[in-house]
A and B are shown apart, each in its own frame.
Chain A
Amino acid sequence: MDKLHGHELLEQERDAQLDRHLALLARMTQEFTTSLDIEETLNNAIEQMMVYMNAEAASIFLLENDDTELVCRACAGPIKLIGLHLPADQGIVGSTVKQNHVQMVRDVSSDPDFTTQVDEKTGFTTRSILCAPLTVKDKKLGAIEVINKKTADGLFASDDQHILTALASSAALAIHNAAMASALLEQERIQHELELAREIQGNLLPDSRGPDFPVHGYNLPMREVSGDFFDHFSLPDGRIVFNLADVSGKGMNAALLMAKTSSLFHCLGKTQTAPGKLLAMVNNEVHENSTRGMFVTMVGGIYDPVSDEITLANAGHQPPLLQHSNGRFEEIQGAAPPLGIVPDIEFTETTLKLGDGTLYIYTDGVTEAQQNGQMLGEEGLMTMISAHRDKPVAARLNAMFASLQREGRQLHDDVTVLVIEKPAPAPALCLEMPAKARELKSLRESSRDTVLAAGSSSAQAESIVLAISEAASNIIKHAYGHEDGRIEVDISVEWPQLVIVLRDYADIVDVDKIRPRALEDVRPGGLGVHFMQQLMDSLSYTVREDGRGNRLEMRITIQ
């Protein structure tokens, strides 16, 4: 009976111990999984383990410096070991990691692996050590060590081995996760920097000068930072300097070389206007300072709108294409190596008449665009250009880029295109109409055509047409009071704005009396001015230039 009772007591005690053990494991696992501050978490954990295992001291060593060293990253007990470095093969910790097996040295004085080095440094007396490896799958992370059981003999027992092994596997997983998390944070930081670099690079490209400017550049970067760039700027004498270039390689290095080369070109190009000499100067500068193996292909040139001549030089870039007014294509050849490879070389210049043709300078990202395993190629590019030839340049390039990005076509490289062509005469309307309501429909039709040709979206065109029609209605109704009269309507483009002017020969209207009605006031009439104000960016009523009537000017940014 006594014996049986004793057995039950023992079982109860074991159950209670198991419960405590599981509770500690659960608590630690919870802490490990919720915390990203691994050092703090490990220090808390090691403290709890030490208490739980009734030990005098405990510590965690992690493999660092390419696994050559074991470094103490957490410890509990009278001696602070944090930061202590040990050679990876040294001591009980080292042999635990190496053998990847829990080790128990009941009495260190009789163990060959025990090194007295630490004790000598710390003044601590180690009697018994239990050490378990920290591993996740097959990856060794380090070891966890508890020292001196607080019992009379100060020695660990075999039960303690199982407990420490269980605690070690949970700690190892936490350390592994934390390392992954910090790698992820690092990745995010790099991503953020790349986005910043992309923004800076985007700012290096010149803004569009609108449809009245003969040079148009487009760039579609495939990575956050692009190796392609272009530039165009006017000289005081009206000539336009331009370039398009592709930096070898991708990523941050290419971006930095791009920034440097484009700055050099932009700066030197203001004084050296002969493209061959300009490229030679840039070549020498890039060669002097660039990383070995990196280079830049570039077409640089100058366009004189007065003589209608383009002079260009080509440093290892694919030949630009000139489409003549009859639709025929001509390759503009050039034969010099890319910038940054050989110093002190000459770049020959080619001069051509632009006429009514269009010059296309592009990077290989365009011709290497893939569809069904086939590259677009130069032939494909020429077909694409011809298909959209009748469109205004902005619409043409948008259509070309859209078809390059169409489903099924894969873009691997940045896509950059520079187009030079004489500006088409700006769409404009200049009409005079009787001040009659029945004329409004045809006014709307002519206005709509002009506004669409100027580049407005169809939604914006409807808004502008409404504003013009309302303005003309007001003149008919209020300025002329439905009496006979004439209205002049001018629409012109002052990029990026559309300028609409309506003039009449009616009595001068008191501008202060032209007011939109309050909208809360639901009644007919007075809405027209409100519409115009809502739809247009600005509205100004003045007396006609010749003083014989009223003038209304409305402006809106083309979208």
Chain B
Amino acid sequence: MTKIGDSPVSFEIDDEQGYLVIRFAGEIDLYGSPHAREVILNCLKQKRNTVVDLSGVKYIDSSGVASLVEGYQLAKNDNLEFGLVNVSEAAMNVLQLANLDKVFPIHASLSERLQAS
């Protein structure tokens, strides 16, 4: 896991089955979300299909959700795939509160996402 300064969120990126998989852990709040945003946008700028694994996310707020929305929109513009996998209960509650659980493609895992498509 890579940590950025004293950011409450850490991450790692793996190249799996043609996707970049970003695994976030910790709390994506107003302090952590700019870091999360940067990580997501960097992956998409490489013109790579990207999925975000949220299993280690204990807390996410509206600014964290906004970073995911930005990634989703950038990917759409560039005709890239973007989705969420392994969403923790805490993160799912917040996505539902934002009514975004129906907007993002959400799967239990990357392989399930591949099977579904």
A339 to chain B, nearest CB (A): 54
Known A-B contacts A444-B59, A470-B61; the reply to A437 vs B66 at CB < 8 A is: no
For residue B80, CB closer than 8 A to chain A, the reply is: no
Which stretch from B17-25, B44-52, B89-97, B106-114 is at the chain A interface?
B89-97
User: Which of these, A441, A522, A524, contacts B67 with CB under 8 Å?
Assistant: A524
Q: Is the CB of B8 within 8 A of A441?
A: yes
Find chain A residues with CB under 8 A from B70 CB: 524
Q: Is the CB of A462 within 8 A of B97?
A: no
Q: How far is the CA of A535 from the CA of B30 in the complex (A)?
A: 19
A207 to chain B, nearest CB (A): 31
Q: How far is the CA of A127 from the CA of B39 in the complex (A)?
A: 108
User: Which of these, A476, A477, A523, A528, contacts B69 with CB under 8 Å?
Assistant: A523
Known A-B contacts A473-B61, A527-B62, A527-B66; the reply to A440 vs B31 at CB < 8 A is: yes
Q: Is the CB of A522 within 8 A of B66?
A: no
Within 8 A of A (CB), among B66-91: 66-67, 69-70, 72-73, 90
Within 8 A of A (CB), among B36-57: none
Which of chain B's residues has its CB closest to A472's CB? B30
Known A-B contacts A473-B62, A473-B63, A528-B62; the reply to A523 vs B73 at CB < 8 A is: yes
B53 to chain A, nearest CB (A): 20
B70 to chain A, nearest CB (A): 5
Q: Is the CB of B30 within 8 A of A440?
A: yes
Known A-B contacts A524-B67, A527-B98, A530-B98; the reply to A441 vs B31 at CB < 8 A is: yes
For residue A495, CB closer than 8 A to chain B, the reply is: no
Q: How far is the CA of A145 from the CA of B63 in the complex (A)?
A: 89
User: Which of these, A437, A523, A525, A535, contacts B29 with CB under 8 Å?
Assistant: A437
Which of chain B's residues has its CB closest to A523's CB? B69
Q: Is the CB of B31 within 8 A of A469?
A: no
User: Which of these, A441, A476, A528, A535, contacts B27 with CB under 8 Å?
Assistant: A441
Q: Is the CB of A476 within 8 A of B30?
A: yes
Find chain A residues with CB under 8 A from B69 CB: 522-524
For residue A513, CB closer than 8 A to chain B, the reply is: no
Q: Is the CB of B93 within 8 A of A462?
A: yes
For residue A1, CB closer than 8 A to chain B, the reply is: no
Number of chain A residues whose Cβ lies closer than 8 Å to a Cβ of chain B:
23
Find chain A residues with CB under 8 A from B98 CB: 519, 527, 530-531
Find chain A residues with CB under 8 A from B94 CB: 466, 531
Known A-B contacts A438-B6, A522-B100, A531-B97; the reply to A470 vs B73 at CB < 8 A is: no
Q: Is the CB of A519 within 8 A of B99?
A: yes
Number of chain B residues whose Cβ lies closer than 8 Å to a Cβ of chain A:
25
Q: Is the CB of B100 within 8 A of A528?
A: no
Find chain B residues with CB under 8 A from A35 CB: none
Known A-B contacts A441-B27, A519-B98, A527-B98; the reply to A469 vs B6 at CB < 8 A is: no
For residue A191, CB closer than 8 A to chain B, the reply is: no
Q: Is the CB of A535 within 8 A of B103?
A: no
Which of chain A's residues has its CB closest to B100's CB? A522
Dominant secondary structure of chain A at its interface with chain B: helix
Which of chain B's residues has its CB closest to A436's CB? B31
B59 to chain A, nearest CB (A): 7
Find chain A residues with CB under 8 A from B67 CB: 524
Q: How far is the CA of A473 from the CA of B67 in the complex (A)?
A: 15
Known A-B contacts A524-B69, A524-B70, A527-B98; the reply to A438 vs B31 at CB < 8 A is: yes
B28 to chain A, nearest CB (A): 11
User: Which of these, B31, B62, B93, B103, contacts A470 with CB under 8 Å?
Assistant: B62
Find chain B residues with CB under 8 A from A535 CB: 97
B52 to chain A, nearest CB (A): 15
Which of chain B's residues has its CB closest to A465's CB? B59
Known A-B contacts A469-B61, A530-B98; the reply to A437 vs B103 at CB < 8 A is: no
Q: Is the CB of A469 within 8 A of B65?
A: no
Q: Is the CB of A531 within 8 A of B93?
A: no
Find chain B residues with CB under 8 A from A522 CB: 69, 72-73, 100, 103
For residue A263, CB closer than 8 A to chain B, the reply is: no
Find chain A residues with CB under 8 A from B103 CB: 522
Convert A505-520 into 0s and 1s, putting 1 for each residue whose CB lies closer than 8 angstroms to a CB of B: 0000000000000010
Find chain B residues with CB under 8 A from A437 CB: 29-31
Find chain A residues with CB under 8 A from B93 CB: 462
Q: Is the CB of B73 within 8 A of A528?
A: no
Q: How far is the CA of A523 from the CA of B65 in the complex (A)?
A: 10
Q: How far is the CA of A4 from the CA of B13 in the complex (A)?
A: 103
Q: How far is the CA of A523 from the CA of B70 in the complex (A)?
A: 7
A459 to chain B, nearest CB (A): 9
Q: How far is the CA of A522 from the CA of B90 in the complex (A)?
A: 21
Which of chain B's residues has its CB closest to A520's CB? B99
Find chain A residues with CB under 8 A from B8 CB: 441
A to B CB contacts below 8 Å, 17 in the list:
A438-B6, A438-B31, A441-B8, A462-B90, A469-B29, A469-B30, A470-B62, A523-B69, A524-B69, A524-B70, A527-B62, A527-B65, A527-B66, A527-B98, A528-B62, A530-B97, A531-B62
Residues of A within 8 A of B (CB): 437-438, 440-441, 444, 462, 466, 469-470, 473, 476-477, 519, 522-525, 527-528, 530-531, 534-535
Residues of B within 8 A of A (CB): 6, 8, 27, 29-31, 59, 61-63, 65-67, 69-70, 72-73, 90, 93-94, 97-100, 103
| 10 additional contacts (CB under 8 A) given A519-B98, A535-B97 | A438-B31, A441-B29, A444-B27, A462-B93, A473-B29, A522-B69, A522-B73, A524-B66, A530-B62, A531-B98
